[in-house]
Chains A and B, each alone.
Chain A
Amino acid sequence: MSSEEVQRLLCRFVSETGEVAGDMLDLPPECTFEQLTLICNAIHQKEERVPYRFFINENEITENLEKTWKLSSLKTENVVDILYQEQAVFKVRPVTRCTSSMPGHAEAVISVSFSPDGKHLASGSGDTTVRFWDIETQTPYHTCKGHKNWVLCIAWAPDSSKLASACKDGKIILWDPKTGNQIGKTLIGHKQWITSLSWEPYHRNPECRFFASSSKDTDIKIWDSVLFQCVMTIAGHMKSVTVVKWGGSGLIYSASQDRTVKVWRTNDGILCRTLEGHAHWVNTLALNTDYILRIGAFDPVKDVNKDTYMTDKKKSQDFALKRFKQVIEPIGERLVSGSDDFTLFLWDPEKDKKPLARLTGHQQLVNDVKFSPDGRILASASFDKSIRLWDSKTGKFLATLRGHVQAVYMVAFSADSRLMVSGSADSTLKLWDLKTRKLEIDLPGHADEVYAVDWSSDGLRVASGGKDRVLRLWQN
């Protein structure tokens, strides 16, 4: 073997699930990232060019093969496994400026939410009103009065035809976003305030009829939004239920201040398992399917299915189901819970009541946790002023994002999982780049604490509301 002979690396491409794509390849070490992308596209016979990210032993290939390969110190004789991750075809441009601050609420804005199709924006406030905003002209649209106390949480039906809002008195009202009128009568049943709302996934029922609510009075109730009555009351928690999530595979997940996460069957409300492990209140839950369940049948890639209630229901349901299956195919439905004991737990709630991983590192309580839309990364916001990124498959710690000077209340991902925005008590929003894991843009503007942040599903806008009573829209 002469030294002048060109060095070759025996490589093969491996997907996240561990499947080998194509045959083994003899690649020159100076093979660049762009060339790898071309090869990978050719192997998968994609018509459009799909962006990828490549890893060797968890080191990302940024320039060429050789550099990363040397980093991971592998031998030449072995076959090099190149892990590829498909990225979103579309790219969300980072928001850079505040395009409008919309005053109107007479008290702190507590919850902000874009509709699944990204066409409507709603906000709930301490002045007992729910407001709809026109995001094209950035003006108020409807003011909905009906509640008698602070509107704590709002939730859009997956087909964007209804909005449910819940107040501190424990009452739920459904609103029509077109007219701003109340639909039916007020749903009364909870004895104390309602902590969260969650709709039935679109692929299970395209009618968008049922939703679950959790309350301080330790109950979870399932409501019928057509007959306006309570279908089922699920009791079992010992203390206030903090979050309820309606999963995509027929299970309801609930977290409570009694230190447990419980899994219920949706059909009959029977307790499937109790996930124990936390040492203090469980504050928040997130599913890796959260994003898919939220946007229902809306397709951010082709920008279709915006009027899901107009088109063929069967077709859009199939579409939603197909996409849901795509997401859960590699690892199933994953659950992560954040707690007052400064840790997070990663669960596989469908099969096991033992945690997959315990994510430690925060120095204060964890207030919010979210999966990225592609389900690869999870981000946790904590009162210790930092955001931490974790690998959602193994629970491995990836990075800490520091920059806020006070407690971080909420995070929101962009639809392409490349960016993230966070709202904090220090009155700013900050935009983070998930590739470099650095602060991209600082977004000051609010005069007081930011309570709620939401990124629209089409990725064009970010809305935020807080203690200073104005709703702000951010665009690029």
Chain B
Amino acid sequence: MPQNEYIERHRKLHGRRLDYEERKRKREAREPHKRAETARNLRGIKAKIFNKQRRNEKIQMKKKIKAHEEKKNKTVSSENVSEGAVPVYLLDRDVKSRAKVLSNMIKQKRKEKAGKWDVPIPKVRAQADAEVLKVVKSGKSKRKAWKRMVTKVTFVGEGFTRKPPKFERFIRPMALRFKKAHVTHPELKATFCLPIIGVKKNPSSPMFTSLGVITKGTVIEVNISELGLVTQAGKVVWGKYAQVTNNPENDGCINAVLLV
């Protein structure tokens, strides 16, 4: 084993060989020839490995050349002005990019009246009653079968009190009740955990809507006041619709896209 950096020390004391530069130049000049010869003579798996490595090297080389060229051209291409101008007093603050104020309130209202939306998921698989509602046997000898248990995720309003068992036809299990949804703003590309206000429409059946069943494709109303959107009149918008994009009963969470 070599002790200490004796080669470096010698170099420092006596310098390199006198023909060092010349030998180095020649070795480098020979390098392509040598490599070409190995490439020509290699066979089988070794050739494959070699070629792959060589290809990667070339890619890296080209990338480097490109980067250098870009660096040289820097002065030419800096003329375009960046978008999103802000006044001086906001320049040093990192202002969150906020969504535009609702573009057209009238259009939105008209759409609401017609009950039609341009939703992200237009076609939704219909949920059969049998799939959503499980029959619960009741009575002393379990002969009666008029009770139903909802097997999907539901939203239950805040002030809801369950009916006495005799009259409760639909049971919405506590474990499947949800209060919040992860809502993505499509323009901001940001997701917020927002409280649910209500279920606007479950496309499978109006009964599910009234029960508050949330399945994939359901349009829910969420509270977006913390996003800070404002109407043209300067009022804070707080309720907005969103469509559920996942299967909440499978995932344990509600993901939705805001309908802008």
Contacts from A to B (Cβ < 8 Å): 107-108, 110-111, 125-128, 148-150, 152-153, 193, 195-196, 216, 240, 242, 257, 281, 283-284, 367-368, 404-406, 409, 424-428, 442, 444-448, 451-452, 468
Contact = CB atoms under 8 A, between A and B. Distances in A.
A451 B90 CA distance: 10
A128 B85 CA distance: 10
Given A128-B81, A257-B92, 11 more contacts: A110-B85, A110-B88, A126-B81, A126-B85, A152-B87, A193-B91, A242-B88, A242-B89, A368-B89, A405-B234, A446-B232
B233 A428 contact: yes
Contacts of A110: 85-88
A333 B90 CA distance: 29
A110 B81 CA distance: 15
B176 interface: no
Contact of B232 (A107, A242, A367, A445): A445
Given A405-B235, A424-B234, A447 B85 contact: no
Contacts of A128: 81
A153 B87 CA distance: 8
B253 interface: no
B92 A150 contact: no
Q: Do most interface residues of chain B lie in helix, strand or loop, or is the interface mixed?
A: loop
A452 B236 CA distance: 21
A360 B88 CA distance: 24
A452 B89 CA distance: 11
Interface of B: 79, 81, 83-89, 91-92, 100-101, 103, 228, 230-236
Contacts of B85: 107-108, 110, 125-127, 150
A191 to B, nearest CB: 15
A444 B231 CA distance: 9
29 contacts: A110-B85, A110-B86, A110-B87, A110-B88, A126-B86, A148-B79, A149-B81, A150-B81, A152-B91, A240-B92, A368-B89, A405-B234, A405-B236, A406-B230, A409-B87, A409-B89, A424-B234, A425-B230, A426-B234, A427-B230, A427-B231, A428-B234, A442-B234, A444-B233, A444-B234, A447-B101, A447-B103, A448-B101, A468-B101
A152 B81 contact: no
Contact of B86 (A108, A242, A367, A446): A108
Given A126-B81, A148-B81, A447 B232 contact: yes
A468 B103 CA distance: 11
B228 to A, nearest CB: 6
A126 B235 CA distance: 27
A286 B125 CA distance: 64
Contacts of A451: 86-87
Nearest to A284: B89
Nearest to B85: A126
Contacts of A127: 81, 85
Contacts of B233: 428, 442, 444
List the 8 closest pairs (A to B, CB-CB), nearest first.
Answer: A126-B85, A428-B234, A444-B233, A426-B234, A108-B85, A150-B85, A110-B87, A426-B230
